[in-house]
Structure 1
């Protein structure tokens, strides 16, 4: 083989790679685009001018932002609990607070305004109680929201760790959920 033959083989391979790249870009951007959701999980305090600082209500908030390229609908909030090394994890839907002024009223897994259609650039928040037996104190391995495309958008592990630290700081002496009635 001569140098010209090698050059021809390399240029054909480059053309195939470029054609595959073009096809993938057209497919992912125009034919079947999927939205990207950014999710932030944090402990918040609601401040108003009437409530004393020690009586201000605290909540766990999940802020969801649609980064596009198309709109989507968020269906539910779910978590995955680790149950040990050799056991299958447990999945659960968590009910958000439907009305912050009356947090004791729930309406099922689709509470808190779910399902919610999000346009590109729109933000939506889900609120959960900041209490000693919160789901966030359990051994979470994953948490996030599901959309209409069947995609699960995860909360970062660092956000989960920060919320666990806040709950531990506030309720460190309280037993973990489900642990109070277990024998030692």
Structure 2
């Protein structure tokens, strides 16, 4: 046996390395897609008006589960423009109506979680009107049971923020 490596020896090492990488990626794909899937969650913000009501409109957050497995939403919050002393973003817990449009008086703080969203379902949370609170909110978000944070897209937050900036 000679001490020098031939081209076949190098080819064997390269092919073993690529086989190892491909087996790892196959295992990762099976794990992330089938064994432990994390469903995508979409958030949006809009305005609702009760039919037959007094014409009162209310802002609502909609949280949709677009995946094929249930997802638990643990917290719904808003991010504020100001940062704390350490430079971290501050959050606020918004107030939601508990039984809108039937009852526009009952409200609770932090009723946006925990909630279980089944596959393909959505949940609307109706925000209590408070312009002084909404002026400093940059965007709303929801945290799921996997620890991921889902945000309302910026293009949907822009009209909301402009409306409350003009109400000063």
Q: How does 1:76-115 map to 2 (within 5 A)?
A: 76-84=75-83, 87-101=87-101, 102-110=103-111, 114-115=113-114
Q: Deviations over 1:62-119 (max 9, x none)?
A: 11111123102223311221315964322222122212232331133126xx432211
Structure 2: state its 5+ residue gaps.
none
- Cα distance change on mapping 1:158 and 1:85 into 2, 3 Å: farther
Deviation at 1:167, TM superposition (A): 3.2
Cα drift, residue 134 of structure 1: 4.2
1:164 aligned onto 2:156: no
**Equivalent residue number for residue 181 of structure 1:** none
Indicate the residue corresponding to 2:29 in structure 1: 25
* Residues 46 and 57 in structure 1, CA contact (< 8 A), matched pair in contact too: yes
CA distance in 2, matches of 1:143, 1:97: 16
TM-superposed deviation, 1:35:
2.0
2:49 and 2:20 mapped to 1: Cα distance? 57
TM-superposition CA deviations, 1:111-156 (whole Å, max 9, x none): 6xx4322111111111113453242x2152x421122333322222
Q: TM-score, normalised by structure 2?
A: 0.80
Superposition TM-score, scaled by structure 1 size: 0.74
Give the total of aligned pairs: 162
Q: CA RMSD in A?
A: 2.5
Check whether the contact 1:39–1:65 (CA below 8 A) recurs between aligned residues: yes
Match of 1:151 among 143, 148, 153: 148
Distance of aligned partners of 1:67 and 1:103 in 2 relative to their CA distance in 1, 3 Å threshold: same
Counterpart secondary structure, 2:132: coil
Note the residue ranges of structure 1 that are not aligned, 5 or more in a row.
176-184
On the 8 A contact 1:35/1:71 being kept in 2, the answer is yes
Residues 44, 63 of structure 2: 8 Å contact kept:
yes
Matched-pair contact (CA < 8 Å) for 1:80–1:89: yes
- For the residue of structure 1 that corresponds to 2:98, the secondary structure is coil
